[in-house]
Amino acid sequence: MPPYDPSAFPPFAVTVDLVVLTVRRHALCTLVVRRGEEPYRGRWALPGGFVREDEDLSGAAARELVEETGLCAHDPAAPPPVPSNGAHLEQLATYGAPDRDPRMRVVSVAHLALAPDLPAPRAGGDANSARWAPVEELLGEDVLAGTAEAGTALGAGGAEGSGDEAGGGGDGKEGGPVALAFDHARILADGVERARSKIEYSSLATAFCPPEFTVGELRRVYEAVWGVALDPRNFHRKVTGTPGFLVPAGGTTTRQGGRPAQLFRAGGATLLNPPMLRPEV
Amino acid sequence: MPPYDPSAFPPFAVTVDLVVLTVRRHALCTLVVRRGEEPYRGRWALPGGFVREDEDLSGAAARELVEETGLCAHDPAAPPPVPSNGAHLEQLATYGAPDRDPRMRVVSVAHLALAPDLPAPRAGGDANSARWAPVEELLGEDVLAGTAEAGTALGAGGAEGSGDEAGGGGDGKEGGPVALAFDHARILADGVERARSKIEYSSLATAFCPPEFTVGELRRVYEAVWGVALDPRNFHRKVTGTPGFLVPAGGTTTRQGGRPAQLFRAGGATLLNPPMLRPEV
DNA sequence: GCAAAAGTGTTCCCTTTACACCCATGT
DNA sequence: ACATGGGTGTAAAGGGAACACTTTTGC
């Protein structure tokens, strides 16, 4: 290791970028903000910002998350003072290619946040400069589920919510798949992949749900994130039979129509054993 | 996002640290180097160094790995020019607490490398300033396998290699578990945990083996990394029955004693499906 | 012959899967 | 009545754990 001479190492800017995922209208969505400056002015980007002098990395990520969404994140590795309101936050990966930002050398520590469906994004003052975008749109995921059949089970093509939302689809600049700024498409893809694999063996899928939820709602989270259709009967048996995954909350709800469903809260277990199995292909 | 004013963000030093793991004498070991300067002068630390101005993060990690071990790493995400000789290299996590280095603000992007057993570490010139240390020693892992029974299945207590090695055990300064410099114990623990879980569902365990190896040698890798004893018969059936995991290399060897064993090479598969199951408790 | 490591066959059991069937509500 | 989603029962198929048994070397 070379000696630590303050003039012997190149200075870097360090930022945190956030992949904030949620499930809206049966589709996996991520929070993007419109860039106001060059480069990539007008393009969508992941929210993020500089790490401050006195701040650790997860602290910076939690601060950005609050600023962008109002969510108080729960980072299992963070010290107690951070209040939790259900959102999950974890470090994803770090991106530092020399040319990833044309202006200077920037190393970005990306974080992954999972949140329940929120009313509407509140950007820094400007309302239409932030939106929840389906990841399928941003990544051009024709391969989201492999086959066309799975496409009928979920997403914009399904029967449940094709009505457009104000400010949602018609997003101005680009037509077709929207290209994210910088290397943010790569970061988003890595975050989505992490979420997809992590709900297999952990109870993290509950982070997409409100505090109380039904088995059916949890199943629809898995279906949206994985892009598959799951057998409701076997899913019910599986999740209720895994100790510590779900605890009954007492009430029932009929908000999905049909027979009233039991309400559950997330149990204490974080690791699922045996794991949920993601269908092949 | 605030505007990019070069004077508006605090400058950071960015380093890469390496968790280089290997299996020696049936124990999981990591490469540590003796620090020559303050702070932590004389203490063991993970190898690492500054990221250069024109270098990306995986490039810096690969360079450090060559400098410390002579290994040419294979990073699946890296561009072609990097030659592979069997070692595996991947990004682990990034550590950036404001006080992790008392002298300045340093963000370290830790990488995990898995290597076959090497003759001897070659530090930057100095021979006894680098060594392979059993992770058990560095982490005080009484909980390595949970029960005492598993301890008999492997490690220094086993029957196969209790003879001491020159320069190995008696390491000077500290008595008992050696405390690593900085937050390197945390980084090492994260790297070990990553390796332990990743060999479950990927073919990465072969990165600990020489180019040609037997099923028994591969099994001893799993036993050393997990700290458990595995049934040789079921293990054999499992790995030879997983398509793409192993391909016959043609010859046999008797270097382990007993009946000659078939030699294999790592197959093309990187993901194991179904995964290897780590015994509970 | 005996010890040691490599392989094969077989049995038991648990999980997953597929699907028939019943339950409780809204319209 | 009927559509919709919630929940239970059950039988077939697949994979893992445990272990008896055979094979091939060195001493």
Q: What is the pLDDT of residues B121-130, one digit of tens each?
A: 665 555 568 9
Q: Which residues pair with A21 in a beta bridge?
A: A30, A114
Report DSSP state, residue A12: B
CA distances from B52 to B59, B190, B216 (A): 9, 25, 42
Tell whether the model's pLDDT for residue A21 goes beyond 80: yes
Q: Do B109 and A91 touch (CB under 8 A)?
A: no
pLDDT at B176: 53
Interface test with A, best of B5, B14, B32 (most A CBs within 10 A): B14
Tell whether the model's pLDDT for residue A40 goes beyond 90: yes
**Residues of chain A found within 8 Å of residue B94, distances taken between Cβ atoms:** 57, 91, 94, 109
Categorize the per-residue pLDDT at A29 as very low, low, confident or very high, splitting at 50, 70 and 90.
very high
For residue A37, give the nearest of B3, B12, B49 by CB distance.
B3
Q: In sequence order, which ranges of chain A are alpha helices (DSSP H)?
A: 57-69, 135-139, 148-151, 184-201, 215-226, 232-241
Strands A48-50 and A44-45: unpaired
pLDDT at B193: 97
For residue A49, give the nearest of B2, B6, B14 by CB distance.
B2
Q: What is the mean pLDDT of residues A12-31?
A: 96
Q: Which residues pair with B32 in a beta bridge?
A: B131
CA B44, CA B33: separation in Å to the nearest integer?
A: 5
Tell whether the model's pLDDT for residue A33 goes beyond 90: yes
**Residues of chain A found within 8 Å of residue B45, distances taken between Cβ atoms:** 1
Q: Do B12 and A8 touch (CB under 8 A)?
A: no
pLDDT at A149: 33
Tell whether the model's pLDDT for residue A168 goes beyond 60: no
Interface test with A, best of B9, B34, B52 (most A CBs within 10 A): B9
Closest to B105 (Cα-Cα) out of A13, A211, A242, A34: A13
CA A65 to C1' C11, whole Å: 56
Q: What is the mean pLDDT of residues A20-33?
A: 96
Radius of gyration, CA atoms only, chain A: 20
Residue of A nearest to B101 (CA): A4
Cβ-contact A198, A168 below 8 angstroms: no
What percentage of chain A carries pLDDT values higher than 70?
75
Residue A55 identity: E
CA A232 to C1' D11, whole Å: 19
pLDDT at B59: 97
Closest to A48 (Cα-Cα) out of A30, A36, A60: A60
Q: What is the mean pLDDT of residues B260-267?
A: 96
| Residue B5, burial from CB neighbour count under 10 angstroms (0-12, 13-18, 19+) | exposed
CA A32, CA A44: separation in Å to the nearest integer?
A: 6
Tell me the CB-side half-sphere exposure of residue A102, using CA atoms within 13 A: 6
Closest protein residue to C23 using CA and C1' atoms? A259
**Residues of chain B found within 8 Å of residue A37, distances taken between Cβ atoms:** 3-4
User: What sign for the dihedral angle of Cα A18, A23, A24, A27?
Assistant: positive
CA B247, CA A194: separation in Å to the nearest integer?
A: 30
A198 touches strand C (CB under 7 A): no
Closest protein residue to C20 using CA and C1' atoms? A233
B70-113 confidence digits (pLDDT tens): 777 665 554 444 445 668 999 999 999 999 999 999 999 999 99
Q: Which residues contact B233 (CB under 8 A, 6 or more apart)?
A: none
- Omega of the bond prior to A274 within 30 degrees of 0, cis? yes
**Residues of chain B found within 8 Å of residue A51, distances taken between Cβ atoms:** 10, 12, 96, 107
The CA distance from B79 to the nearest CA of chain A, in Å, is 12
CA B225, CA B234: separation in Å to the nearest integer?
A: 18
Does the CB of A125 have a partner CB in chain B at under 8 Å? no
Q: What is the mean pLDDT of residues A243-262?
A: 92
Q: What is the mean pLDDT of residues B202-209?
A: 97
Q: What is the mean pLDDT of residues B34-46?
A: 93
Within 7 Å of a protein beta carbon, the nucleotides of strand D are 3-9, 15-21, 23-26
A49-89 confidence digits (pLDDT tens): 999 999 999 999 999 999 888 777 655 554 444 445 668 99
**Residues of chain B found within 8 Å of residue A107, distances taken between Cβ atoms:** 12, 14, 51, 57, 107, 109
The CA distance from B259 to the nearest CA of chain A, in Å, is 37
Categorize the per-residue pLDDT at A123 as very low, low, confident or very high, splitting at 50, 70 and 90.
low
